[in-house]
Chains A and B, each alone.
Chain A
Amino acid sequence: MIDPPRLVLGFFRWFCHPDCRDDIEGDLLEIFNKNVEAKGPRKARWLFVIGVLKLFRPGIVRPPGSGRYLNRYGMFKNYLFTAFRNMKREKLFAFMNITGLAIGIGCGFVIYKIITHETSFDAYHKNYKNTYRLITEFNHPQYGTGWSEGQIHPLGEALRNDFPGIDAVMTYYATDAQVSIVDKDGTVDRFHEYKGVAYAEPNFFKIFDYDFIIGDPDKALVNKGSVVITESLAMKYFKQPASEVVGKIITINNVAPLQVTAVVADPPSTTDLPFTLIGSYKDQPASNPYFHDGTDWNEYNSNTNCYVVTSETMPAERLTQLLPDFLSKYCGKERASFAKYILQPLSELHYDTRVSNYNKRMISKTMLGVIGAVGFFLVISACINFINMSTAQAIKRAKEIGVRKSLGVKKGQLIGQFLSETIFISFLSAIVGVIIAQFLLMLLEGILGYQLSVQLLKNPNELLFIIIMVIGIGLLSGFYPALVMAGMNPIKALKNSLTVHGSSGLMSLRRTLVVVQFIISQVLIIGTIVAGQQMNYFLGNNEGFNKDAVLVARIPRTTPEKREALKTVMEQQPGVEIVSLSCASPMANFRVENEIEHPSITADQRVGGNLKTADENYIDLFHLKLIAGRNLPREKDTYEAVVNRKLTETLGYSSPEQALGDKFKYSGDMEFTIIGVVEDFHTVSLHQPIENTLLSNLPWNIFEIAMKVNMSGRNFSEIQGTVNGIKTEWDKLFPETIFDYTFLDQQIARMYENERKTSQLFQIFSAVAIFIGCLGLYGLVSYMANQKTKEIGIRKVLGASTGSIFSIFSKEMLVLVVVAFLIAAPIGWYVMKNWLQGFEYQVELSSLFFMVALGITIGIAFLTIGYKAIVASYANPVDSLRSE
C-alpha cells in the first residue's frame, strides 16, 4: 500500500477544522488510492499535494487560537457596570479620585504642550540641520571666558568670498522702530513697532524659510530701499490684502522710505528670528547709527548676527578649523589671540543661555528638564492619591471580591477587572483633564508669553500623548490596588473579618506614598519661596541708584540745539523736578564697552569699561552717590569723567580721592580726566557683576531723556496731568515722532521677565501640587475617621477629651510631614542653589525659607484634616456605638 506524503497530510490535519477533519481526510485518501491505481504513485502524490493546497481555504481552515471563541464583551460590560456602581456608592471618593487625576493629567498635558512648544523652535526651516550662528568666544586671563553673539557688519560678505561651499547672511534686529505710512489723502499714520523690525542681506530668504504670498524671494531684498513685510503688517499698515500693497512706501524712523517688494505669511511663533518687517541690509542706518556703509571692521553690535549654512563640501568641522585664520586675516592677530569664532547650531539658539537671541528669551535644557520633572511629579502625586484611596476602599469591596472568587474567578481576571476599572476612571479624568488643560493654558498665556491651545483632533501626537497617559496612569495607579484586592482571602472577605490593619505592609506603603507627596509639595514650596525672594531682591532697591518716579523716553535723531531745547522745555513743566539727557539710564540694555588703557594696566591685561554719556543732572536725578570730587560740568566735550569706585580700584587706587585728576585712555583714541567718583551701582541686570563704569559729558551718543516726576503727595490725575503736559510739549518739538515713554522701574522689571515668569510658573504648579496632596490627605483622613468611628466612641465614653481624639489623627500626619521635610529640604536646597548660580547677586539661602515651607505644609495639612478630625471627635458616642 502506498502512503500519501506524510508531511502534507500532517499539514492538512493541522489546518483543517476539527469538525470535518476525519471525513475529508478519508475523501483525500480515497482519491489518492484511486489515483495511485489509475495514474501511478508519483502523479498521485503530486495530485495529493495540489488537493491539500486547494483545501486550504476559508470554510475548511480552522480559526486561529484554540478554536474556541470566548466573547468577553459581556464581562467588560459587567466590569464597567460595577465601576459605575462603586462610584455612585462612594461619591466623595470617586469625585476626589477623578478630580485629582484630572488635575494631574491636565497639568501633565500643559507641560507637554509647553515642552513641545519650546523644543520646536526654528525646526521648520529646511536648512535647520546645517545652519549655524557665528558667535565669538573671548578668553580672558583674569575674567575667564565670555561669549558674544554680536558681529561686524561686513562679516557675511567676507565669509561668502573666502569660503566656497557655504552661504552666510547678516541680520540686524532693531530694538524698536517708528513706521510711518502716508495714505492717499496725505495724512500720516505712525506706528511704533517694538519687535519684528529687521534688516537682512538679499540671500536671507534662501537660508530661512518664509512663505511668500506675493513677490520673488530671490529678488525681494536685492535693491537698496526695499522691504518685505508680513501679511498681518500689510493689513495693519494699509488695510489691504497682500496683493495690493506691493510697491507702497513705508518710512522707518522718518528717515528711510522703503518700498514693499514682497509680502510673506506671518512666521510661526516658534522662531527666534521673529521678523515681521525685513528691510534690505543697506538700509539699516535708519535703525542702526553705527552701520555707516557697513564696511567698518571694528564696529561690533549685539543686534547684528551672522548665520552660516554649511554644505557637504564645507562641513561645520572643517569651517571651524579655518575660522581662526579668517579672524586674524580680517580683525588682526591681536584679536585672534583672545577671541575665536564658534559655530552655534540653529537648534541651540533657543537653549544656549550664554548668548542672547532676537527674542531675548532663551530657556536652558536644564530648565525644560525641571519643568518636565515638575509635570512628572504632579502626575505621580495624582497617582499616589489614587493608590491610597483605592486601597483604603478595598475593604469595602471585600464582599464583591469574595463572591467573585467563590464563583471561580481567577486572580488574573480580578486584576484585569480592577485595571480596566482604573483605566476607565483615568479615561473619565482625561476628559476633565483636557478641559482643565485648556483653562490652564489660557491662564498661563500671560506668564508664558505665547498662546497655546489643546488641539487633540488636529494633532495626532497630542491624542497619542493623552492615550498613553490614560493607559499609563491607569496601569500605574491601578496595579497595586488591583494586586491587593485580587489577593484577598475569599473566606475572610465573605465573613467580613478582613482588616486593612491586618497587613502592616499596606499601611507602611501608604505612609511612604504620603511622604513622597509631601516631598514633592515641599520641594516646590521651597522653590517658590526662593524664586520669589530672588525676584523681590531684583525688584527691590539694590541697584545703587534711584529708579522710582523716573520717566524715560527715547529722543529721535536731531540736532544738539533741539535736544537742549527739549531739556529746557521739560524742566519748566510743572511736576517735573529734574531732567537729564544721556545715552541710557544707569541700568540699561544699551551699553558702550571699550578698552581702558592706563599705566597700572599691563599690556596683556584687557580691561573693559562701560561708557555712559551723561550730563550735569544725571548724578542728581538717579541719586548716584558722589563719594569724591565733583559732578560733571554743564559744558560738553571736555573729556572729563566721573567714574565708579570699581574703576578706581581697577586702576590701583585704594581710596577714591587718590584717583582724582588721573587720566586714562579709552577705546584707543580718547583720554579722560577723572574729576569725580561715585559709589558703585549696577549697570547691567543683577545676573552680572558690577563693571568698570565711567560717566562723561560727551556731545554724542545721546539717545534718551530722563525726567524725575514729582510723585509725593500727588494723586494719579495730577501725575497724569504732568505726563500729558510733557506729551504736549514733545509733540510741538517732534511732531513726527510718537512720544513713547516708560517708567524706569518698569523698564528694569522687564529685565527680570524670565525670572518673574519662572517664579510664577513655580507658584502655580506648587499650588496644584499642594492641592492634589490635600485631596489625598483629606481622602485618607475621612477614611480613617470612618474606620475609627467605634474606637472614638469607646474612647469618648471612657472620658477622652476632644483634643486627645484630635491628636489621634494629627500625630501621624505630623510625623509624615516632618519625615518628608527632612528629605525635601536637602533636595530643595540643592536645586535652588543651582538655580541661584545663574545670578551674580543672589539672596542668601537662609534656613528661614525652609522653616516657612515646613510651616506652610503643616498648616495646610492641619487645615485639611482638621475639619474631619473635629467632626469625628465631636460625634456623639451613642450614635456610633448603638448599632452593631
Chain B
Amino acid sequence: MSKYQLGEFEEVVLLTVAILNGEAYGVSIIEEIEKRLKRKVSLGAMQTSLRRLEDKGFLKSELGEATKVRGGKAKRYFSLTNYGKKALRESKEQRMGLWNAVPEFVLN
C-alpha cells in the first residue's frame, strides 16, 4: 500500500491544480475540470475537498489581490506542495505499474 491516501476526486483536483500552475483557485479549478472531464462539480464539493487536501498537506494556499469582479473579495490560490507532488507521482507510478502488468491481449 502506498503511504499516500488519495481519493479519485482528490487526485483529479490535485492534477487540475498542477495543470493550472499558479492560477488555481475555486472557480478556475471547477471550470478546468468541467472543460476537461465534462463533469459537473459543485462549489461545496470543491471547497471541502480543497480544505481537506490542504489539511493533509498536499496543497498550500495564499490569498491573492482583491479584485472588483468578485465583490471585492480576494481569490485563494492553491499550489502543490512537494508532498503533494510526490503523492501524484507515486499515484502515477502505481497506475503505470498496473498497466504494465496487464497482459496485452486482455484489453484488446
Report A-chain residues with C-beta under 8 Å of the C-beta of B30: 31
A118 within 8 A of partner (CB): no
A30 within 8 A of partner (CB): yes
Report B-chain residues with C-beta under 8 Å of the C-beta of A56: 44
C-alpha spacing A113/B47, complex, angstroms: 60
Taking a contact as CB atoms closer than 8 A, the residue among B27, B47, B75, B76 that contacts A60 in the complex is: B47
A26 within 8 A of partner (CB): yes
A26 and B47 within 8 A (CB): no
Q: How far is the CB of A47 from chain B (nearest CB, A)?
A: 10
What 1/0 flags go to B65-84 for Cβ under 8 Å of A? Answer: 00001110111100000000
Assess A26 versus B73: contact at CB under 8 Å? Given A59-B48, A60-B51.
yes
B70 and A26 within 8 A (CB): yes
Interface size on B, residues (CB 8 A): 20
Report A-chain residues with C-beta under 8 Å of the C-beta of B75: 23, 26-27
A54 and B63 within 8 A (CB): no
Q: How far is the CB of A449 from chain B (nearest CB, A)?
A: 68
B70 and A29 within 8 A (CB): yes
A26 and B48 within 8 A (CB): no
B47 and A20 within 8 A (CB): yes
Nearest CB to that of A1 among chain B residues?
B71
Q: How far is the CB of A732 from chain B (nearest CB, A)?
A: 97
B48 and A57 within 8 A (CB): yes
Report A-chain residues with C-beta under 8 Å of the C-beta of B47: 20, 24, 27, 55, 59-60
Interface size on A, residues (CB 8 A): 22
Nearest CB to that of A33 among chain B residues?
B69
Assess A31 versus B71: contact at CB under 8 Å? Given A23-B63, A60-B48, A60-B51.
no
What 1/0 flags go to A7-33 for Cβ under 8 Å of B? Answer: 000000000000010111111111101
Q: With A55-B43, A59-B52, A60-B48 given, name 4 new contacts (CB 8 A).
A: A24-B26, A29-B73, A31-B27, A31-B43
Report B-chain residues with C-beta under 8 Å of the C-beta of A31: 27, 30, 43
Report B-chain residues with C-beta under 8 Å of the C-beta of A59: 47-48, 51-52
What 1/0 flags go to A589-625 for Cβ under 8 Å of B? Answer: 0000000000000000000000000000000000000
B44 and A27 within 8 A (CB): no
B25 within 8 A of partner (CB): yes
Report A-chain residues with C-beta under 8 Å of the C-beta of B69: 30, 33
B42 within 8 A of partner (CB): yes
What 1/0 flags go to A49-64 for Cβ under 8 Å of B? Answer: 0110111111110000
Report B-chain residues with C-beta under 8 Å of the C-beta of A57: 44, 48
Q: How far is the CB of B64 from chain A (nearest CB, A)?
A: 9
Query: Which 3 pairs, one residue from A and one from B, show the smallest C-beta to C-beta distance?
Result: A26-B73, A54-B44, A27-B26
B102 within 8 A of partner (CB): no
Q: How far is the CB of A22 from chain B (nearest CB, A)?
A: 5
C-alpha spacing A30/B71, complex, angstroms: 8
Report B-chain residues with C-beta under 8 Å of the C-beta of A33: 69
Taking a contact as CB atoms closer than 8 A, the residue among A26, A28, A58, A60 that contacts B74 in the complex is: A26
Nearest CB to that of A48 among chain B residues?
B43
What 1/0 flags go to B10-38 for Cβ under 8 Å of A? Answer: 00000000000000011100100000000
Q: How far is the CB of B57 from chain A (nearest CB, A)?
A: 16
What 1/0 flags go to A190-211 for Cβ under 8 Å of B? Answer: 0000000000000000000000
17 chain-A/chain-B pairs, Cβ below 8 angstroms: A22-B73, A23-B73, A23-B75, A23-B76, A25-B71, A27-B27, A27-B43, A27-B47, A30-B27, A31-B43, A51-B42, A54-B42, A55-B43, A55-B44, A55-B47, A57-B48, A60-B47
C-alpha spacing A51/B45, complex, angstroms: 10
Assess A28 versus B43: contact at CB under 8 Å? Given A23-B76, A33-B69, A60-B48.
yes
Nearest CB to that of B52 among chain A residues?
A59
Report A-chain residues with C-beta under 8 Å of the C-beta of B71: 25-26, 29
Nearest CB to that of A53 among chain B residues?
B44
C-alpha spacing A25/B70, complex, angstroms: 8
Query: Which residue of A28, A30, A56 has the most chain B CB atoms within 10 A of its CB atom?
Result: A30
Q: How far is the CB of B27 from chain A (nearest CB, A)?
A: 5
Nearest CB to that of B44 among chain A residues?
A54
Nearest CB to that of A23 among chain B residues?
B76
Query: Which residue of B44, B51, B63, B76 has the most chain A CB atoms within 10 A of its CB atom?
Result: B44
C-alpha spacing A33/B67, complex, angstroms: 14
Report B-chain residues with C-beta under 8 Å of the C-beta of A24: 26, 43, 47
B51 and A20 within 8 A (CB): yes
Report A-chain residues with C-beta under 8 Å of the C-beta of B25: 23, 27
C-alpha spacing A31/B44, complex, angstroms: 12
C-alpha spacing A24/B76, complex, angstroms: 8
C-alpha spacing A570/B42, complex, angstroms: 109
Report B-chain residues with C-beta under 8 Å of the C-beta of A30: 27, 69-70
Nearest CB to that of B45 among chain A residues?
A54
Q: How far is the CB of B14 from chain A (nearest CB, A)?
A: 17
C-alpha spacing A53/B45, complex, angstroms: 11
Nearest CB to that of A59 among chain B residues?
B48
Report B-chain residues with C-beta under 8 Å of the C-beta of A23: 25-26, 63, 73-76
Report A-chain residues with C-beta under 8 Å of the C-beta of B70: 26-27, 29-30
B73 and A20 within 8 A (CB): no
Nearest CB to that of B76 among chain A residues?
A23
Q: How far is the CB of A367 from chain B (nearest CB, A)?
A: 67
Assess A20 versus B48: contact at CB under 8 Å? Given A33-B69, A54-B42.
no
Report A-chain residues with C-beta under 8 Å of the C-beta of B63: 22-23
C-alpha spacing A26/B70, complex, angstroms: 5
Nearest CB to that of B29 among chain A residues?
A27
Q: How far is the CB of B22 from chain A (nearest CB, A)?
A: 16
C-alpha spacing A51/B30, complex, angstroms: 13
Report A-chain residues with C-beta under 8 Å of the C-beta of B27: 27, 30-31
B73 and A25 within 8 A (CB): yes
Q: How far is the CB of B31 from chain A (nearest CB, A)?
A: 9
Report B-chain residues with C-beta under 8 Å of the C-beta of A27: 25-27, 43, 47, 70, 75
Report B-chain residues with C-beta under 8 Å of the C-beta of A29: 70-71, 73
Assess A51 versus B73: contact at CB under 8 Å? Given A27-B27, A30-B27, A59-B51.
no
